[in-house]
Amino acid sequence: MIELHHCISARSFRPLWMLEELGLPYQLKIWPFPPRVHARDFLALNPLGTVPLFIDGDVRMTESAAICQYLAAQSRPTPLDVGMDEPAFPAYLNWLSFGESTLTFPQTLVLRYGRFETAERRNPQVVEDYTRWFLARLRAIEAALANGEFLCGGRFTAADVSVGYALMLGEHLALHAQFPPKVRSYWGRLQERPAYRRAMAAQHAAAEAQGVSSTPAPETGGD
């Protein structure tokens, strides 16, 4: 059975959401955030000390967007995947990466230098600059949504999970009020998906059962 190592509302939420969308059985292990600091035994499983850690038989993966792509491809045929024979395939790959490398990256700097570092190491200029970076890049989503309710292929896909998590992180940073209109509506639609709601409920139920704080990772003091 698939095993997913996760912190509440961290990047590992992407594969958790995908698992619920696909209806696949899985075991969910919740760790305190960040596990490299608060659960040093996790380093024996993942020397990086990061989540997600995704295990599927002999497969071990640590990159959340890549795990989404893996799950979609392994579950073919599924509308969550976009095949190489479809015109939307290049856009699908681009959005999968965009959600992490373009949208989540600047927010990690906002988190680090606005919340996670000690008071003397916090940097308001970094926070301001990378907040603006993130918000400016939402223009690409706004433009894509002029053509439909989802990013590519005329349907909800793993690419929407990748980008959707970045919007979720933006809400934890209280940036959602600044989302452009179509992005704001899109984010609202994503939150209404039954699988998204199941994933939210699953992480909180697992945290309670395993005796781990249910405070979302982006809202902790970090290390």
Q: What is the pLDDT of residue 199?
A: 98
Structure tokens at 215: 């405070």
Task: Evaluate whether 46 touches 55 at the Cβ level (below 8 Å).
Answer: no
**What value does the mean pLDDT take over residues 25-29?**
98
In whole angstroms, what is the distance from residue 6 CA to residue 67 CA?
Answer: 13
Q: How many CA atoms lie within 13 A of 14 on its CB side?
A: 35
Each residue's pLDDT tens digit, 68-121: 999 999 999 999 999 999 999 999 999 999 999 999 999 999 999 999 999 999
Task: Tell me how far apart the alpha carbons of residues 97 and 75 are, in angstroms, rounded to a whole number.
Answer: 20
Per-residue pLDDT, 211: 97
Residue 222's pLDDT is: 47
For residue 7, with 0-12 CB atoms within 10 Å meaning exposed, 13-18 middle and 19 or more buried, which class applies? buried
Alpha-carbon distance 172 to 36, whole Å? 22
What's the confidence (pLDDT) of residue 25? 98
- Residue-wise pLDDT for 182-197, tens only, equals 999 999 999 999 999 9
Output phi, psi for 28, to 5 deg: -115, 120
Quote the tokens at residue 45.
């499983």
What interhelical angle do 64-74 and 158-172 show, nearest 10? Answer: 150
Residues 6+ apart with CB under 8 A from 75: 22, 24, 81
Please tell me whether residue 33 adopts helix, strand or coil conformation: coil
For residue 223, what pLDDT is reported?
A: 42
Asked whether the beta carbons of 67 and 162 are under 8 A apart, the reply is: no
Chain centre distance of CA 45: 21
Residues of the chain with pLDDT > 70, as a percent, come to 99
Question: What Rg do the C-alpha atoms of the chain give, in angstroms?
Answer: 17
